[in-house]
Amino acid sequence: MAARGAKPQARAARGGRLRPADLLKLRPSHYEDETRVTAIADAEPGVPALFEGICEKQVATYRVLEFVLADDTGRLTVTFVRFNPGMRSATAVGKRLRLFGQPQAGGRGGLLRRGPLRLVHPRLRGAEAPLPAHLTARYPKVAGFSEAVIARHVQRELLRLRELGDPLPPPLRRRSGTLPLAESLRLLHRPQPHELPLIEKRALPSLKFDEWLAHIAFKQRQKSRIRHSEAPALAAPAGAIDEFAKRLPFVLTACQRGAMEEIAADLGGSRAMRRLLHGDVGSGKTVVAAFACWLALRAGRQAAIMCPTVILASQHHRRLKPIFAALGFECHLLVSATKATERRALLQRLATQQDCFLVIGTHSLVQDEVEMPLLSLAVIDEQQRFSVAQRKKLESKARVAHVLMMSATPIPITLELGMLAHLDTSRLVEKPQRGAIRTLVFNASRTDEVLREIVRHQLQTYWICPLIKQGAAAGLRAAEDEYERIRALLPGLPAALIHGSMDSARKLAAMNEFETGAIRLLVATTVVEVGIDAPEADAIVINHAERLGLSQLHQLRGRVGRGSSKGFCALLYDPGLAEQAVKRLRVIHAESDGFAIAREDLRLRGPGDLVGKRQSRAFKYVFADLFRDAAAVEAAQKALAGLDAQQLEALQPWLDFWLGNLLA
């Protein structure tokens, strides 16, 4: 079945295709009680009920059909506007009818003299069929599907699930305190009147548990397949971390050393590593990745680091090149700004099976002309900014390769286990000693006051704007306009402009001048958000801060306070904020812990910003809640750990139900 524009919880991730089983995951919007007939005399305005009686009188025009429904206790006027032609015969005088609807006060006008109550467009039922034993579920609209079609498929799929039986062993069900899938869905879609409280108490918790169990089982299967794929062993000698640390201009934290040990253990085996290294802004992920690259080079192989921006790739190259030179290896840069002659020579060296070195680049690394047969380690920085296809393309440059992914956004445990369970993880929860950052929130009317205070205190500053130039979003400060305005206001201030539409050479030149201190104020868009490290930068001013998400604000704030001195962050907001924006600014003002901010961002915005929007689309949780379900996740993990191989294999039909769009 194909449905365009269907509700997200009912759609498969690919091409808008719907399976009948997906309709079982539609949560009813409400329930209606058609299990008993209400006497007309007992009808109450605004209270939906089922009425049964005889059609006594009927009047119709080409647009309006009205008739009187009577039982032993009273009469109702019934109105249909723009009615189906067959309705006249279906409601002919003398016929016994059942009507479900919400009585209204009679009002004036119409074709018939109205009594105190009337029904407008009630649901018409034949009076011959027995009354249902269960409540009638009503569903949100799904384009291309009538409620009758949905109800028919739901009934059929419920019967099919009951025949399949529960794939989870009864002892496991008892320990988890959950209901079999078929019973949970029966309660959701076909509850009896007295069972309504059980939907919240039993059915929904059971469905949450089952959904988490399916996602975690699927991810663990992926992890198992990865562990069975081979990759070259990149053994680390005894004392490798200490040897590497001697070449660094700073002292490693305990967390960094711990992550290096985990990565070295992975690389030393013959199975492919798939590890996620994540931590807060400024926690020192790059040097951990550099250690992994060094192990690859020591083993006579190549390593690559792929970054989302030219600025970040160039910065990594500039910082890592002297470290690798001290270790006896080369480090090269491959970006769009690389000169043609250098590019050709580098591609030729990468394609040989004799040259081992580190290459750092952007999307340039995944172009078809790039061949890296000696590649044994692929590092993907800010992994959530790349699509799955882009990451796979880098991996495919080698026949076999270890993969290390990095994210500067700390990830809540539910998200880690539910969406990233196929990866091993290393967390950097400790930061190198750096200056604290003071965050203040100002009304945008004080913009120039903030600017003058920055100049008076001689602070090197990022000045962030949401737009490059004025366009459809009138009233927002644009980087190009702000740059010209500040130059006119403070002509003696060394300032520069940087944004994503500039060519790479100009961007790199501006960043280099800012890092050396020649530029004191850098007007920029959020292009500086990712990984930029200018240790002497003192302050960052974010215009229209209410328009950015929490994780993005935290990333931007992390551009300052990277040296020994304190940092300053000013959030400028427009008056008349929406409540959601007010909440975000309160959180970022009060909270400096990246994990707490990530949890709140997940609650407010969903998982897209944490794992990447393109990745999160494939994980449409229906009943599970990424923010509140830590207990359900732990219970699902324990349940999976208690299953043997045969029981895990028996889960296949159940996985098909929950994850059909992912397994296809």
How do residues 483-541 score in pLDDT, each as one tens digit?
999 999 999 899 999 988 888 888 888 988 998 889 999 999 988 766 567 888 999 99
We report the CATH number of the domain holding residue 120 as: 2.40.50.140
344 located within any domain:
yes
Q: What is the pLDDT of residue 663?
A: 46
pLDDT of residue 109: 55
- 399-413, 566-580, 593-607, range with the lowest pLDDT: 593-607
Phi, psi of 434 (to 5 degrees): -140, 170
Mean pLDDT, the chain, rounded, equals 83
Query: Is residue 144, in this structure, part of any structural domain at all?
Result: no
Q: Are residues 376 and 521 in the same domain?
A: no
Taking the C-alpha atoms of residue 207 and residue 623, their distance in angstroms, rounded to an integer, is: 6
**What is the pLDDT, as a whole number, of residue 355?**
82
Specify if 523 maps to a domain.
yes
Q: Does residue 611 fall inside a structural domain? A: no
Long-range Cβ contact pairs of 194-203 (< 8 A, separation 24 or more): 196/31, 196/135, 203/179
Last residue of a domain, one of 539, 570, 591: 591
Report pLDDT for 493. 93
The DSSP letter of residue 332 is E
What local confidence, expressed as pLDDT, does residue 617 receive? 43
Lowest-confidence segment of 180-194, 203-217, 220-234 by average pLDDT: 220-234
C-alpha span between 324 and 517 (Å, rounded): 26
634 and 421 Cβ atoms separated by less than 8 Å: no
Domain boundary among 568, 591, 614: 591
Are both 391 and 525 inside the same structural domain?
no
Q: Are residues 340 and 247 in the same domain?
A: yes
The model's pTM is: 0.68
For residues 7 and 140, the answer to whether their CB atoms sit within 8 Å is yes
- Is residue 139 included in any domain, yes or no? no
In whole angstroms, what is the distance from residue 209 CA to residue 177 CA? 10
The CATH number of whichever domain residue 512 belongs to comes to 3.40.50.300
Same domain, 485 and 371: no
Residue 295: what pLDDT? 96
Q: Which domain holds residue 554?
A: 437-591
Is residue 475 left, alpha or beta, with left meaning phi > 0 and alpha meaning psi from -120 to 50?
Answer: left
Instruction: Please give the residue that has the higher pLDDT: either 94 or 145.
Output: 94
Q: What confidence tens digit (pLDDT) does each residue in 285-326 have? A: 999 999 999 999 999 999 999 998 888 899 999 999 999 999
Which amino acid appears at position 480 of this protein? Answer: E
Average pLDDT on 611-629 reads: 60
For residue 70, pLDDT over 90 is answered with: yes
User: Residues 461, 578: one domain?
Assistant: yes
pLDDT of res. 8: 38
Question: Which region among 101-105, 355-359, 530-534 has the lowest average model confidence (pLDDT)?
Answer: 530-534
Q: What is the DSSP string of 192-260?
A: -GGGHHHIIIIIHHHHHHHHHHHHHHHHHHHHHHHHTSB----PPPTTHHHHHHTTSSSPPPHHHHHHH
Residues 249 and 377 in one domain: yes
Q: pLDDT: is 288 or 410 the higher one? A: 288
- Is there a single domain that holds both residue 445 and residue 551? yes
Q: What is the pLDDT of residue 421?
A: 59
State the CB neighbour count (10 A cutoff) for residue 326. Answer: 11
Q: Among 130-139, 392-401, 644-653, which is the least confidently predicted range? A: 392-401
Q: Is it the case that residue 452 has pLDDT exceeding 60?
A: yes
Q: What is the mean pLDDT of residues 362-390?
A: 84
pLDDT of residue 565: 76
Is 507 domain-assigned? yes
Number of domains making up the chain = 3
More confident residue, 352 or 229: 352
Q: Which residue has the higher pLDDT, 28 or 106?
A: 28
Tell me, what's the pLDDT at 508? 86
Looking at the structure, do residues 377 and 490 belong to the same domain, yes or no?
no
Does residue 664 carry a pLDDT above 80?
no
In percent, the amount of the chain with pLDDT more than 90 equals 41
Residues 232, 45: Cα–Cα separation, whole Å:
75
Residue 384 and residue 519 share a domain? no
Query: Which of 591, 613, 628 is at the close of a domain?
Result: 591
Model confidence over 1-20: pLDDT tens digits?
Answer: 333 333 434 443 333 456 77
pLDDT of residue 613 exceeding 50: no
Q: What percent of the chain has pLDDT over 70?
A: 84
pLDDT band at 474 (very low <50, low <70, confident <90, very high): low
C-alpha span between 193 and 134 (Å, rounded)? 7
Position 12 scores a pLDDT of 35
Whether 569 contacts 439, CB under 8 Å: yes
Assign residue 328 a region: left if phi > 0, alpha if psi is -120 to 50, beta otherwise? left
Task: Name the residue with higher pLDDT: 552 or 14.
Answer: 552
Claim to verify: residue 379 and residue 246 sit in the same structural domain: yes
Residue 216 placed within a domain: no
**Mean of the pLDDT values across residues 578-588?**
82
**For residue 316, which of 265, 246, 379, 268 has the smallest C-alpha distance?**
379
3-state secondary structure of 187: helix
Res 615 pLDDT > 60 = no
| Max avg pLDDT among 17-26, 232-241, 429-438 | 232-241
Please indicate, yes or no, if residue 562 is contained in any of the structural domains. yes
Pairwise CA distance, residues 22 & 11, whole Å: 7
- Per-residue confidence at 44, pLDDT binned at 50, 70, 90? very high
Q: Is a pLDDT exceeding 90 seen at residue 231?
A: no
| 107 and 68 inside one domain | yes
Task: Say which amino acid occupies 82.
Answer: R
Same domain for 261 and 339, yes or no, is yes
What's residue 465's pLDDT?
92
